[in-house]
Structure 1
Amino acid sequence: MEEMLNLTHTWVGYAVLAVFVIGYYLIATEEKFEINKAKPALFIGTFSFMLIGIYFALNNLDPTPLHHEMQKLIEEIAEIFFFLFVAMTYIETLIERGVFDALRFRLISRGYSYKKLFWITGILAFWISPVADNLTTALILSTVLYTIDKHNTNFLVPGAINIVVAANAGGAWSPFGDITTLMAWTAGKGGFIDFLMLFPAAFFGWLLTSWLLSIFVPKGEPHFDALTTPKVELKNGAKVIIFLGFFTIFIAVVGHILFHFPAMWGMMFGLSLLQLYTFYHKRKYKEHINIFVNMSKVENDTLLFFFGILSAVGALAFLGWLIYVTKLYEIIGPTWANIGVGFISAIIDNVPVMAAILKANPPMGIDQWMLVTLTAGIGGSLISFGSAAGVGVMGRMRGVYTFFSHMKFAWAVLAGYILSVIIWYIQFEILGLY
């Protein structure tokens, strides 16, 4: 598209770029201005195309290329939007059925030490995020962590960082564990198995960071009073819904691989199964599970932020700005550029960074696309607000897990990041195991 039409050095090119920069400043400083990041993101995404439409009308240009670009963009966004919507609906239903409350009770009632709880929550984050997503996983487990002991910051801060790093690392090796990996998967930059091959790099990088953080976790165990703490049990149907959730992911993957369906199609089929089960559940237990109420609890601001930021990046790509991203890859080479993406995604959210790279589409093999998927996923852990998981935990543990408390241990996160890249290089470039 850039070869056919380049509008970077027109008034609309500069205007859209300015709107993006100003809007993204508001997104990055949402706590300062107390504005939800979805609001400026949705504005810049939609307004950018309004400006492009005005430019086309004033200059009597054929709108066909613009319409074609918008249709492609809508399809790309819809695939991921509905995928995440169904996943979040399942998570909210599991919360309503008491699955995570029961998990929290079992952890605090068994007399585990702080160090053991540190490792358990980290391991759970690493293994749950590939199936759920890193944001939801981090929110749930940080809530569990905070309810264990609200006052012991020496335990809470390393534990929170561990959860963020584990959730991002776990999401990096699953096609649907993070928005960035989901974007790369649906864009056809790698097959399902290709993403799974990132497991060694993601796992050992997190393990090193976790081990370094564990040194600072205090000894002893949190207080638990069995007499005053009521026991929490799973509600009726919880286990069936857990099974349906895993089955939905399975159907989405199989449909994508065998039939080349969009992954969201299998997810929507899974949502229909959940709806049908609630009908059966009501007849059997005389209890109504209202899926539409659970849907209302889905983080719509996250979905709208995603829509807005991808639309904004799509506008920049249509105007021709992302040609410069491709040129950067040509100058310094894909390996160093993709390693740098991890540091950029720590400062700028990894979603627009990955969206820009996918739109620019520099010529790379599967090995390099897997590297940028890895670095964009785990690089956000370097700074507290570098990933959706980190931002979510900062909000959930306000005043405890902060930018400065995270930066005290940033060296441990950096050590894990470097190890992950080294493992990728050995596995993909030297051994060719992918």
Structure 2
Amino acid sequence: MLKLLMVLLLSSITLLASGGNSTPGEIAPDLTMTWVGFACLFIFVVGYYFVAAEEKYGIDKAKPALFIGTFMFVLVALYYALNDLSMDLVHTQAQHLILEIAEIFFFLFVAMTYIESLIHMGVFDRLKYNLVSKGFSYKKMFWVTGFIAFFLSPIADNLTTALILSTVLITIEKTRKDFLVPGAINIVVAANAGGAWSPFGDITTLMAWTAGKGHFTDFLFLFPASVLGYLVTAFLLSKFVPDDKPTFDASKESKPEMAEGAKVVMGLGVFTIFCAVMSHQVLHLPAMWGMMFGLSLLKVYSYGLQRKYGTEHFNIFHSMAKIENNTLMFFFGILAAVGALYFIGWLGLAAIVYQPDVLGPTWSNIGVGFLSAIVDNVPVMSAVLKANPDMGLDQWMLVTLTAGVGGSMISFGSAAGVGVMGKLHGIYTFGAHMKLAWTIVIGYFVSIAVWYFQYEILGFYHIG
């Protein structure tokens, strides 16, 4: 009876929350020129400063991001209440934002759980041993991890790829920043560039694909621009990587053995990525649904390992406890903050620049790359798609390229960068990234030049 009363109570609260005096399809008013519009913009800029100055003030980036994300929406809701506006609009926008955040949040959660599980089972220690024992120099390992990231990202996704390869970096070397920082930047750039030419390699390409801005094969034509831009950046970054080799004494370092079941966990990880892709492509469910299904399989397998080898052999909850929660909180905060800016109307102003008498589509799409690095490529791409400027396939592919690759220019301009910052905490920081960001900018313009030659001069970007 108590359970029944609780269900009825929750149902009543839900109905009351969804009620109101708004009309169906009501459009949110433009609040950009109001006190709440300017206040939220100011709060975002100040909060963004503290996120960027994480290293200077010693404050974790999740703290200011989470504060401004929640506080800005509280101010917007307060403005609506004070001015007797439809609270349904606030409620609906918050629901949509929570759904968007939840998809990314749980996707990250599962990916991080798998990575921590593989660390516990000695997979990355074994990979480190295999690389170092072969006599690879720091520079060769720089190129190996970069190429793996570039070609794994289109299959997995840029975030999962960056998390895996950054874990490899930190197991190879834990202290030498002259290797770790260029190596981390290289992985972020490679993962984002690799994801730009695959419909499911990056969330921005996925958004453009599902919005019908191009067929599956249309995105594959971005490969030349993606790979050449990456190679230029990687070549410049490699000049900062030391030539010597990691210290390795075969007589002192024994070959690490992976725990029983590690290979199965690796297979489950690959299958989980497959499930995420199939969830979206075939079943029309969010990608995180397939990821959560993969997590359920890992939990079942964890139970089997415990029954066979004991409770200390592999406990999935221990892996979950080691997840970088600050990375998840940062994503929640920054997406909430950007969602508030969009709801107020600031991001909608971007559509004006696409008009021919302002900047036009080409220069606007190039600017999207820089904006995605500053704000975040997901909401920027969302704003472009919602504005839906009149552009041909060539321009939609350009904005897909710039939004994906451009996020690499700042350390937290993409999911891959944020993930690596969490893995290499205190080493790969905003300040460390910005010292070498010029290499990424050069590669960015190389990608655009290749796009222009291929799309605008040769006209080679579509089959049939």
Same fold, TM exceeding 0.5?
yes
Gaps of 5+ in 1: none
- Going from structure 1 to structure 2, the CA distance change for 1:89 and 1:384 (only over 3 Å counts) comes to closer
**Aligned pair partner of 2:76 in 52, 67, 75:** 52
1:374 aligns with 2:398: no
Q: Give yes or no for contact 2:221–2:461 (8 Å, CA) kept in 1.
A: no
- Going from structure 1 to structure 2, the CA distance change for 1:359 and 1:249 (only over 3 Å counts) comes to same
Aligned length in residues: 434
Alignment of 1:51-90 (within 5 A): 51-90=75-114
- Matched letter for residue 416 of structure 1: G
Structure 1 range deviating more: 390-399 or 93-102: 390-399
Q: Distance in 2 between matches of 1:146 and 1:319?
A: 41
Q: Distance in 1 between matches of 2:382 and 2:255?
A: 45
**Aligned pair partner of 1:257 in 281, 287, 295:** 281
- Tell me the equivalent position of 2:363: 336
Scaled by the length of structure 1, what TM-score is found? 0.85
Q: Distance in 2 between matches of 1:61 and 1:260?
A: 35
- The C-alpha deviation readout for 1:172-193, integer Å capped at 9, x for no partner, is 3445555655665677766665
Q: Distance in 2 between matches of 1:311 and 1:399?
A: 25
- Tell me the equivalent position of 1:416: 443
- Tell me the equivalent position of 2:29: 5
- The C-alpha deviation readout for 1:137-178, integer Å capped at 9, x for no partner, is 546545644665678776556544433322332343445555
- Tell me the equivalent position of 1:268: 292
Scaled by the length of structure 2, what TM-score is found? 0.80
Q: Give yes or no for contact 1:158–1:213 (8 Å, CA) kept in 2.
A: yes
- Matched letter for residue 417 of structure 1: Y
- Tell me the equivalent position of 2:251: 227
1:8 shift after superposition: 2.1
- Going from structure 1 to structure 2, the CA distance change for 1:360 and 1:24 (only over 3 Å counts) comes to farther
1:124 shift after superposition: 2.4
Alignment of 1:95-106 (within 5 A): 95-106=119-130
1:338 shift after superposition: 1.7
- Tell me the equivalent position of 2:329: 304
Gaps of 5+ in 2: 1-24
Q: Distance in 2 between matches of 1:16 and 1:408?
A: 30
- The C-alpha deviation readout for 1:339-367, integer Å capped at 9, x for no partner, is 12223344555455445545655454554
- Going from structure 1 to structure 2, the CA distance change for 1:30 and 1:161 (only over 3 Å counts) comes to closer
- The C-alpha deviation readout for 1:100-157, integer Å capped at 9, x for no partner, is 1111111101112444323212222323444555566546545644665678776556
- Going from structure 1 to structure 2, the CA distance change for 1:154 and 1:279 (only over 3 Å counts) comes to closer
- Tell me the equivalent position of 1:325: 350
1:23 shift after superposition: 1.9
Q: Give yes or no for contact 1:79–1:186 (8 Å, CA) kept in 2.
A: no
1:227 shift after superposition: 0.9
Structure 1 range deviating more: 80-89 or 287-296: 287-296
Q: Distance in 1 between matches of 2:113 and 2:169?
A: 23
Q: Give yes or no for contact 1:83–1:267 (8 Å, CA) kept in 2.
A: yes
- Tell me the equivalent position of 2:234: 210
Alignment of 1:8-19 (within 5 A): 8-19=32-43
- The C-alpha deviation readout for 1:51-92, integer Å capped at 9, x for no partner, is 222222222223222222222222222222222221222122
Secondary structure class of the residue paired with 2:255: coil
- Going from structure 1 to structure 2, the CA distance change for 1:400 and 1:48 (only over 3 Å counts) comes to closer
Q: Give yes or no for contact 1:310–1:355 (8 Å, CA) kept in 2.
A: no
- Matched letter for residue 433 of structure 1: H
